[in-house]
Every structure is written in C-alpha cells, then in structure tokens.
Amino acid sequence: MQDCLNEVSNVLDLFDCKYEKVDVDDEGTFEGYASVFNNKDLGNDVIRKGAFADTLMNKTPKQIKLLYQHKTDEPIGVVDSIEEDNKGLKIKGRLALGTQRGKEVYEFMKMGALDSMSIGYRINQDGYKYDDKNKRRIIKSVDLMEVSMVTFPMNPKATISKVKNADIEDGIVTKRELEKLLRDSGIFSTTLCVHTASMLYKSCNKEQRDVVEGCKQLLNTIKH
C-alpha cells in the first residue's frame, strides 16, 4: 500500500496539484487577522492603518501574548509573526498542544467553533480622536499587549483564515468526498480508498480549489 501512496504523491506532483506537505512541527499553527482596519467595531471604534507601527517596531512577536478569551492567566501559545498589511493586523501563531487548553482551542478552531480573534491594548490621549458626527472613536496608535482567541469578537471581521490540518472555508473538498471519488473509480479497495483519501486530505493545500480536478486526472492516469 505504501508504494501505491508514494505513486499517488508522485503523480500529484506531475499534475501540479500545488499541495503542501504537512510537517509535524506545523501542528497547531494558524493565521488570520487580529484586527481589521477602517471598519467600526461593536464598541464604535475604528482602527486606522499604522496604529500598530510603534508596537511592531519595539516588540518581538513573542512579546505579544497569545491568550484565551483575554484571560491573562490562560496563555495558549505564541505569536510567530505579526505585520500590518492593507487589510489589517495579520498574525501567524502556534498553539501549545502540550497543554489542555491549547489542545481544546485547536480542536475548536479546526471545527470552526472558535474562529475569531480580538486584541488587548493600551492607548493614551494622543492615540485617538473622537468623531462626534459619526459617534465613533478613531484609533491612530496603540500599544498592543495581547491577541486572544475569542468566541464573540469586538470586531466581527477579525477572523482566523487558516488552521493547519483543517478546513474553515466553505466549499472546500472534504475527506469523505475524496473517499467517494476514489471508490467511484473502481480501481481501489475500500481500505485503500480510506487510507489514500486521508493522505490526500492531509497533504493538499486547503486554499487550492483544484484538488478534486487533480484527483480526477490522477485516476485517469492510473487507469491508463
């Protein structure tokens, strides 16, 4: 069976299915936006691009704490990278899977039950101005202290976009669909379908929409 799985991997390479190998060290990693610029959150705050510039200049990513529900006594991992882009504050983090809370959060994130982030920061009077006309606070500069995985974010657009070994985007192929595709080919046994589908599911980059088409091409190649 291993030879067959190796052949599947080789053929996928030939068809440029653009899959990425899952490294064990990547377990528990995720990325997304902890804050989104220029939209009013539920507290009537609007964060402008550049608000995190001082923090990013003066702090390393790991100095910005990764917490659960803003609880200072519940760190759940580390921030590996953080940067501002045109959309917002983009982060890549890693959960501590050796801890009970880290494992729980990872499972919830993979399921999509926990898919939002929120930030904790300090701000002085020079860091914001109040817009009386639109009844909102415009935030220009903050001292970012922490990023939290939360159930209900202050900014609904601050979401997790990718979790390693998980699908959180609608419309992406599932493991069961891959098994069915392999079974329908009539060339794999039931057991081999299950193992092969598992391998493909774990290996393929979930952001690529051509996984199914690549598998169909693969099966046609095997048939011939």
Active site residues: 70, 118, 146
C-alpha closest to that of 163 among 69, 66, 67, 28: 28
CA distances from 214 to 30, 190, 207 (A): 26, 21, 14
